Amino acid sequence: MMRVSRQVKVGEILLGGGQPVWVQSMTKTPTHEVEATLAQIRRLAAAGCEIVRVAVPDREAGLLLGRIKEGSPLPVVADIHYDYRLALLALEQGVDKLRLNPGNIGPRWKVEEVARAAKDRGVPIRIGVNAGSLEKNLREERGRLASAMVESALRQAEVLESVGFADIVLSLKASDAPATVEACRRAAEMCPYPLHLGVTEAGTAWAGAIRSAVGLGALLLEGIGDTIRVSLNADPEREVQAAWHILAAVGLRRRGVELIACPTCGRCQVDLMPVAERVEAALAQVERPLKVAVMGCVVNGPGEAREADVGLAGGKGQAVLFRNGRVVRKVPESDMVEELLREVRALLGQEAPGNDEGGNADAGR
């Protein structure tokens, strides 16, 4: 059921054509500040970001792209608005991909010139349509947002195709999730290009992650999407974490700990909320995919804990530890976080007993 798109190459990364759905983000530092931008890119890479985009607001920023590219552990995408000369400059600076906004680049010949230069260098171009900056005539002539977005993207793709350029990626983003879903579905049917998914201006870390999960989740469950970027008004690492949570939730890719935690209710015999938060925090740096269950009672506890790689089902003053579906041992409630973390570390092949975090654990009481 997965849509197989035409493949493009972004630096060393193959995008589309059955490859994994890659996680992207965008730097929020002023691009002129090269060191700060590179530091943020390194943090993003550590959090699981696989492609990074930087804004190119002006020529001064454009001239620094080579240094950013050189220092970046990730393929670098230059985000271009308004001025096609910034796109040409970004190509000269060796970026791995361009993002153009068809709503504000202007006349056809400018886009053609960028496409020719990109073709010469083998650099793909993402046509990035945003509802908030649709070409004026499209906003006016079309009632429905999704159609207008698709038309804007395909029109621009035609301009690129007309000069023999085919390394195209499309994105169609609105802050409205159903409009985004509808636009991407249509684009997925109407063209072979890989799709970059995002719900734009989604909001703050929590509300924005929810809105993104609704839009991106629905598309990914349908097999649509080749790379995703979660736009949050928050630290960019949060965008990357949210993207991974979405990919895990749809069952496509996993990275780090997926915590199954019961919501607790009036039958819960363990004070589980601090436990879940502590376990999540203690395992935040784990990269290997791992399912950890923290459950508070006998109703679903043992069942879910058994499905997890490591699980804990709390009871009256004690908890049962599971590993790979088998009961490991019973532990007193006062030690259950420590014991759970010990089990996880053992599973990860790290030394189990007597290390720092474990030794200090005192929760669950």
Q: Which of residues 59-98 bind a copy of itself (CB under 8 A)?
A: 61, 79, 81
> Residue 148 corresponds to which tokens in the numbers above?
């207008």
Residue listed under structure tokens 């197989």: 4
Q: At closest approach, how far in Å is the CB of 265 from a copy of itself?
A: 4
| Binding-site member from 272, 321, 331, 363 for a copy of itself (CB under 8 A) | 272
Please report, for residues 27, 158, 325, the alpha-carbon distance to residue 165 in angstroms, rounded to integers and kept in the order given. Answer: 28, 9, 52
Q: At closest approach, how far in Å is the CB of 158 from a copy of itself?
A: 23
Closer CB to a copy of itself, 7 or 104, in the complex? 104
d(CA 341, CA 9): 40
Q: At closest approach, how far in Å is the CB of 73 from a copy of itself?
A: 18
Closer CB to a copy of itself, 168 or 295, in the complex? 295
Nearest to 304 by CA among 289, 316, 291: 291
| Binding-site member from 259, 286, 347, 352 for a copy of itself (CB under 8 A) | 259
Residues in the chain: 365
d(CA 160, CA 115): 6
- 92 burial via Cβ count (<10 Å: 0-12, 13-18, 19+): middle
Site for a copy of itself in 108-147 (CB under 8 A): 130-134
Closer CB to a copy of itself, 7 or 269, in the complex? 269
Residue listed under structure tokens 């500040």: 33
- 152 touches a copy of itself (CB under 8 A): no
Closer CB to a copy of itself, 22 or 165, in the complex? 22
| Distance linking the first and last C-alpha atoms of the chain | 48
Answer for the pair 300, 362: CB distance below 8 angstroms, yes or no. Answer: no
Q: At closest approach, how far in Å is the CB of 209 from a copy of itself?
A: 5
Residue listed under structure tokens 């991909």: 97
Among the listed ranges 90-98, 265-273, 314-322, 347-355, the one in contact with a copy of itself (CB under 8 A) is: 265-273
Site for a copy of itself in 229-248 (CB under 8 A): 231-234, 236, 239, 242, 245-246, 248
- Which amino acid, one-letter code, is at 323? R
d(CA 90, CA 64): 9
CA dihedral 287, 290, 296, 300 (to 10 degrees): 150
* Chain-centroid distance, C-alpha 11: 18
Among the listed ranges 13-21, 151-159, 160-168, 288-296, the one in contact with a copy of itself (CB under 8 A) is: 288-296
| Binding-site member from 7, 9, 14, 28 for a copy of itself (CB under 8 A) | 28
Closer CB to a copy of itself, 76 or 167, in the complex? 76
Q: At closest approach, how far in Å is the CB of 170 from a copy of itself?
A: 17
3-state secondary structure of 361: coil
Among the listed ranges 151-159, 189-197, 256-264, 320-328, the one in contact with a copy of itself (CB under 8 A) is: 256-264
Q: At closest approach, how far in Å is the CB of 22 from a copy of itself?
A: 18
Please report, for residues 184, 314, 319, the alpha-carbon distance to residue 269 in angstroms, rounded to integers and kept in the order given. Answer: 46, 7, 10
Site for a copy of itself in 174-213 (CB under 8 A): 175-178, 181, 200-211, 213
Site for a copy of itself in 298-357 (CB under 8 A): 299-304, 307
- Which amino acid, one-letter code, is at 228? I
Q: Is the dihedral of CA 138, 136, 181, 184 positive or negative?
A: positive
Q: At closest approach, how far in Å is the CB of 258 from a copy of itself?
A: 8
Closer CB to a copy of itself, 48 or 236, in the complex? 236
Answer for the pair 246, 25: CB distance below 8 angstroms, yes or no. Answer: no
Q: At closest approach, how far in Å is the CB of 15 from a copy of itself?
A: 21
Closer CB to a copy of itself, 165 or 323, in the complex? 323
